[in-house]
Amino acid sequence: MAKLYFSFSAMNAGKSAILLQSAYNYQERGMHTMLLKPKLDDRDPKANHIVSRIGLNREADLFTNETDLEAHIKTSHAERPIDCVLLDEAQFLTPDQVWALARISDYTKIPIMCYGLRTDFKGELFPGSATLLAIADDVREIRTLCWCGRKATMTLRFDESGDAITEGKQVEVGGNEKYISLCRRHWLEKKSSREV
């Protein structure tokens, strides 16, 4: 039975690497996957690739908030049967797009595996993540660590001088130059490292 999966974590837990490993496993068994990523994630020169911090990468179809994912997947599936859809940066999905993915899983019987952040730098759920947490058949946490060794569940955004940012727009694409994963305690304290 096909399911809608949501694997979430704070930043730098290896979500993209796990997604790419899953895609490789399908490919190794002669199966066809569709990889999707949001167009707004343009951090890498290979904008149409899912890229992990450890150097893995693979081409992906890009989507925006206006993309009809249900139609896109069904059209591609009619041309060449898809065994699994793997979607990176799932926090950027709209609630309607999450419901479209659920319909694909339920009626087209294609497993949909979504990977993304649960919360933003203010500790608030992203709309896509909130909907996935509410309706996904299988929700999994991928763990990463705070600098103190505890489980990191929060993401802190900081400016060029290293000061914590607590206000601003929810979406600001960036990596290690703008964000750090912390445990809840150190996120609340805005303490991004051990003091010397």
Question: What CATH number corresponds to the domain at position 126?
Answer: 3.40.50.300
The verdict on residue 41 lying in a domain is yes
Residue of higher predicted confidence among 167 and 71 = 71
The verdict on residue 134 lying in a domain is yes
Q: For 40-77, how does the pLDDT look when each residue is reduced to its tens digit (9 = 90+)?
A: 866 666 678 887 878 787 889 999 999 999 999 999 99
The verdict on residue 12 lying in a domain is yes
Residue of higher predicted confidence among 114 and 147 = 114
For residues 38 and 171, is the Cβ–Cβ distance under 8 A? Answer: no
Residues whose CB falls within 8 Å of the CB of residue 149, separated by 6 or more in sequence, listed in order? none
Quote the number of domains for the chain: 1
Q: For 14-43, how does the pLDDT look when each residue is reduced to its tens digit (9 = 90+)?
A: 898 999 999 999 999 999 999 999 998 666
Owning domain of residue 34: 4-143
**Strand ranges (DSSP E) for 39-176?**
49-51, 57-59, 61-63, 84-87, 112-117, 138-141, 154-158, 164-165
The verdict on residue 159 lying in a domain is no
Please say if 167 is a catalytic residue: no
The verdict on residue 196 lying in a domain is no
The verdict on residue 185 lying in a domain is no
The verdict on residue 51 lying in a domain is yes
- Token match 């805005």: residue? 190
pTM score of the predicted model = 0.88
3-state secondary structure of 154: strand
Catalytic residue among 28, 59, 66, 89, which?
89
Q: What's the chain's average pLDDT?
A: 88
For residues 176 and 144, is the Cβ–Cβ distance under 8 A? Answer: no
The verdict on residue 93 lying in a domain is yes
